[in-house]
Structure 1
């Protein structure tokens, strides 16, 4: 811009110089008709060029530094000019309605989604997303986060209703036949225990103590005492161990009637467990007591630290970022584009927010322009105007000199003819 402006000033000076030089150079030839015509042309061109130079210069400053009246128009009318510019911006060019209507013509959400979708494919976006993910992971403080997780976890468990959970547990037990498996486990372990020699001795000893301590009267007392004297603990153990083992083995057979009766009883008790209110209350209190005494903060901290290290390692892998961040974003964007209702709602919200911002801050447009213009001194402001429109103004001087020259020739010719 400065180069163009200097050229236009250069042309204006050349035109004025040509007219002045021509006017002086033609003096020796003024006795001839051509000399008189050219002298008239150069004289008029010089007057026109000087007049336009004065007019153009008077817009911005005093010509030759002389305080001539009605010159330096822009500096003198600076305040009026600024007010006019601000008023024109606020009330003619950038009114609230014009800005709001222009915003409404732009589908901002669609453009934003399209722009984001395009940028998702760029390596720079991938790199930026990777840096952001790693930064966010590094910002996680397991020591501060674990108490919050502990509190939320305990609150969640406290809020869990024991009845639905117990009902699901019952259905799962019956579905997987866990009660039958539990019975079989108890029978197998009992069988193993009964086969031990030590167990046989304990059974015999307990049976002998039972006989000796049984308190009855009459004939029964005499019979028990006689039997007790005839048998010892070892014999009782040898008698009772096979008896118990046989019964345990029989209970393990699927078609055993006693086994079926036991299982039916277990099923009945399990199905009716939700009707036992005292048990439900007790289980709830037991659950809350365990939760209150549970302090998993340290374990949660360790777990979070391990997860943090693992996530950072994964986030440093470009392929992981593409699969777990970029792919998710692409899927969400695609879902958003296919949901016209959601897009309309987002666009409506954006338009509403922008409209409110225009309503709230519109008055600041003029204030902002005023503050920035007031920062400029007169010379800077004049230079800005000259740099933007100075070329055309300088050509006024060139045109003035040329037009004056042509008009001078015409007028001189006319006078000579007349």
Structure 2
């Protein structure tokens, strides 16, 4: 019994209390007939019980059929279509009305919010990385044959515009200004030194000196004198070969030393001879023929097409194993593209911060975009609400509504008993007065 009592709400308890009061008042009236107080008590208790029952019936009739009464009861389940339609209209017209949407958007500072998001380091990194992927995918989607022909046309145009004199002069200036001429000589000296130091080189010098000595001696008497000098130790060809080898090693070391006199002298000699060669008419004629040959006869299209297809195969294989092909195979190109995109990204943000016309254009675009999206969402929200409410059973729909207004409905039922008792008391007093 106590378990059932705990499950009752306060309106049920109030109605039960009104019924108990009615029984008590009826017993008092029967025990004390003609007593004014007993009659008034019965009058008030009866009115409270009738008011409580009437309000219980009215509240219950909203959701189900009280005591199986079929007429104008279970109003919400019977009118669920109208309820769903009214809910959709309320959501669309009240919560997502055009006026409220625009009023909320006007209070938002869209452009500062966008700039704050764009300035975040993680946003910059993510967007530039995504743009790199878009560029790579765009290039891979292009027609390989058309790309090869375009590259070949560009190469032929560049080769056609090249003048050999200016080209070689420019290379010389670039080598001097960049200091790569010194580095090239140093690498050359480093490559030559192991060869000079090898025993085979010393043996070759020995045979060369020996052949030279025999050539100088000539005749029987010369050979006899040369053999006598070698026997007496006057001429040591092996020592001479070792001396030559040591001298060449010393020259290679000096040639590889940055800014050494020998290195400067060699470079001066190279540039001097290059200038003489660059002014030679026959050299010019040969270079122009070579340029025309490269421009007209080399299979540049085939080479470019093969390179593009090979590159695509590598990129496709790398994408299959979730690896960035640009970063793996062309790290310098990847880094350079990333630098360019980051610089342009920073430039675009700075431009949006300083250019008032651009700020106005971007702000208007954002406002228009979000407003249109919100207005389109108005219809979408209505469809969602209608779909969700339409799938509910009658019991689920009753609980959905009842749970939201349960305290008010309970007070309505309690007020029926309270107001009924008050009205019963007033009516009884009026009857006494008029009687």
Structure 2 length-normalised TM: 0.53
Go from structure 1 to structure 2 and tell me whether the alpha carbon gap of 1:113 and 1:65 turns closer, same or farther (over 3 Å shift).
farther
After TM superposition, give the deviation of residue 48 of structure 1 in Å. Answer: 1.2
Residue in 2 aligned with 1:87? 89
Residue in 1 aligned with 2:402? 386
CA contact (8 A) 1:8 1:395 kept: no
Residue in 2 aligned with 1:339? 352
Alignment of structure 1 residues 265-276 onto 2, 5 Å: 265-268=276-279
Residue in 1 aligned with 2:159? 162
Distance 2:401 2:163 in 1: 84
Alignment of structure 1 residues 233-382 onto 2, 5 Å: 265-268=276-279, 280-285=291-296, 288-289=298-299, 292-293=302-303, 295-296=306-307, 336=349, 339-340=352-353, 341=355, 346-358=362-374, 360=376, 362-382=378-398
Distance 1:265 1:115 in 2: 62
For residues 296-343 of structure 1, the C-alpha deviation after alignment (integer angstroms, 9 at most, x for no partner) is 56699789989999989x99xxxxxxxxx9xx99x9689737732566
Residue in 2 aligned with 1:63? 66
For residues 369-416 of structure 1, the C-alpha deviation after alignment (integer angstroms, 9 at most, x for no partner) is 222222122222122111111221121001111122233233333433
Go from structure 1 to structure 2 and tell me whether the alpha carbon gap of 1:283 and 1:394 turns closer, same or farther (over 3 Å shift).
same
Provide structure 2 residue ranges, at least 5 long, that are not aligned to the other structure.
186-207, 213-264, 329-337
For residues 101-132 of structure 1, the C-alpha deviation after alignment (integer angstroms, 9 at most, x for no partner) is 534543456446646877959xxxx9xx8xxx
Structure 1 length-normalised TM: 0.55
Distance 2:284 2:77 in 1: 96
Residue in 1 aligned with 2:54? 51
Distance 1:377 1:254 in 2: 95
Go from structure 1 to structure 2 and tell me whether the alpha carbon gap of 1:391 and 1:164 turns closer, same or farther (over 3 Å shift).
farther
Distance 1:393 1:56 in 2: 7
Provide structure 1 residue ranges, at least 5 long, that are not aligned to the other structure.
1-5, 186-195, 201-251, 316-324
Distance 2:210 2:316 in 1: 51
SS for the counterpart of 1:29 is helix
After TM superposition, the structure 1 stretch with the greater mean CA deviation from structure 2, 352-361 or 19-28, is 352-361
* Aligned residues: CA RMSD: 5.5
Number of residue pairs the alignment of both structures matches: 312
